[in-house]
Amino acid sequence: MMIKVMSLLLFWCFTSQTVSLIIPRRYESIINFGNSISDTGNYLLMGAPAYPAVGKLPYGETFFKHPTGRFSDGRLIVDFIAEAFDLPSYLPPYLGVANGSHVRNNGVNFAVAGATALDPEFFYAQNIGWTLWTNSSLNVQLGWFKKFKSSLCHTKHDCEEYFRKTLFLVGEIGGNDYNFQFLAGATIDQIRPIVPLVVGAIVNATSMLIEEGATELVVPGNFPLGCSVVYLALVESTNQSDYDPTNGCLKAYNSFSEYHNEHLKRELQVLREKYPNARIIYADYYGAAIPLYLAPKLYGFYGGPRIACCGGGGPYNYDLSAWCGDPGSTACENPSAFVNWDGIHFTEAAYRYIAQGVLCGPHASPPLMP
């Protein structure tokens, strides 16, 4: 089994830019928290009220050949991580499993599309609660985990042994805390002061999981917001100096993402000092994604990095009145040639590359596989 796992991981590393012969750390299960970047079906099981199109094609068309509740044409980063560690199957959504008997040797996914790091009450107090997709914030997901824990392990010793071989993924989460406010009209200067609150919620969740027995945790940072099609389409500027000439992205929004990520990295270092027996890994999703915008054709993305594969038209193929899957939208013939899937999320091909950067380096600190 270990030889098979090593072969799978070496395949990943040989197909990424960084090639290294390494002995992988073996995880037997994954427990995931987050939003639509890693939701494998929870939001769809809730009825997908704000985005029902995720329950029909072309979502899922590339790999699964049918919609699964994943906000992409195929697999997500969490799916590629599960593959790399040779888990028996992809992570089932928490709302789709009755008990832990079917997930103990695989893991479970608590992520919900639209989830925020901060509780819904924060957004209602700001009079922007109407923007929320779900009330299943990070705290709600942690509550689900505590409730479900007894289905995974029964005694303290049993839990210690189980969690010692479990990889906890805490996010990506926090991006929606900013998205909902930006799209409601807030400025960067207005939102910058809440970054410590968002980071604090993520760090507190990580600390709680360690107290519950987690010893191996990955905490991703935010993606470059200024490269996201939804921002490029809705925050379009006539001032060319607002765009980075090297990648065509909105400079101010990317700087904001970097500000969040630097704050998160500092707080995670404090957490490492508090819990020296836990391995807390920062996953640099920003660093893993930005090359796709700098030199897309180098990585096989000939469709353009800042155009949605599936959408309702316009210069970025993104239209709020015709989301991917809605009447009036169309999907490209070859999603693997595109970085962006539906204006907000990545294609399977882009997620594969980002996952490689986290699994094989250099976009995980400390390395995921020492």
Active-site residue, selected from the candidate residues 73, 177, 319, 342: 342
Active-site residue, selected from the candidate residues 36, 38, 136, 336: 36
Q: Which residue type occupies 329?
A: S
Q: Is residue 66 annotated as part of the catalytic site, yes or no?
A: no
Provide Rg for the chain, Cα atoms: 19
Whole-angstrom distance, CA of residue 92 vs CA of residue 42: 9
Q: Are 202 and 264 in contact (CB under 8 A)?
A: yes
Q: Is residue 244 annotated as part of the catalytic site, yes or no?
A: no
**46 to each of 93, 96, 136, how far by Cα in Å?**
11, 10, 10
Active-site residue, selected from the candidate residues 260, 263, 345, 363: 345
Whole-angstrom distance, CA of residue 306 vs CA of residue 343: 9
3-state secondary structure (DSSP) of residue 10: helix
Q: Are 69 and 55 in contact (CB under 8 A)?
A: yes
Whole-angstrom distance, CA of residue 196 vs CA of residue 202: 10
3-state secondary structure (DSSP) of residue 98: coil
Q: Is residue 345 annotated as part of the catalytic site, yes or no?
A: yes
Strands of 137-241 (E only): list them. 166-170, 216-220
Show which residues are catalytic.
36, 342, 345
